[in-house]
Amino acid sequence: MEYKNTKAASTTITYDKNKIEAPTDNIYEAITIIAKRAQQINGDLKNELIEKLEEFATYTDSLDEVFENKEQIEVSKFYEKLPKPTAIAVQEWLEGKIYYRNPEENQK
């Protein structure tokens, strides 16, 4: 998924509780769904960052030499500036982009 082009807020904002709970009519269920999605996003971003930083890895046995790679620093700064995974998940929830189901309701 493309997290770099999201419209999620990069600072803390207050959300309308009624809009958050509207799809499920249960605020706790909505927050649980958003939290699980945030964990997925966090894992995706972490894996992507690790893959990019692996390109710059140098495998030496010497602890005396520490290299500063400007490209590596720029990649790290870029990921630090992205909105937090929870903000991205809330934005996806409000836009109706998160698929969810409750197995207990399907059995009824």
Residue 61's pLDDT band (cuts 50, 70, 90): low
Q: Give me the percent of the chain exceeding a pLDDT of 70.
A: 86
Whose tokens are 């972490």? That residue is: 46
Determine, yes or no, domain membership for 97. yes
Determine, yes or no, domain membership for 87. yes
Rounded distance between C-alpha atoms, residue 89 and residue 42, angstroms: 10
Whole-prediction pTM: 0.81
Residue 6's pLDDT band (cuts 50, 70, 90): confident
Determine, yes or no, domain membership for 57. yes
Determine, yes or no, domain membership for 66. yes
pLDDT digits (tens, 9 = 90+) for 12-57: 899 999 999 999 999 999 999 999 999 999 999 999 989 988 887 7
Rounded distance between C-alpha atoms, residue 86 and residue 66, angstroms: 34
Phi, psi of 22 (to 5 degrees): -55, -45
Determine, yes or no, domain membership for 46. yes
pLDDT digits (tens, 9 = 90+) for 66-103: 566 788 888 888 888 899 999 999 999 999 999 988 88
Amino acid identity for residue 76 in this structure:
S
Determine, yes or no, domain membership for 79. yes
Rounded distance between C-alpha atoms, residue 99 and residue 32, angstroms: 13
The domain tally of the chain equals 1
Determine, yes or no, domain membership for 10. no
Determine, yes or no, domain membership for 9. no
* Host domain of residue 68: 17-102
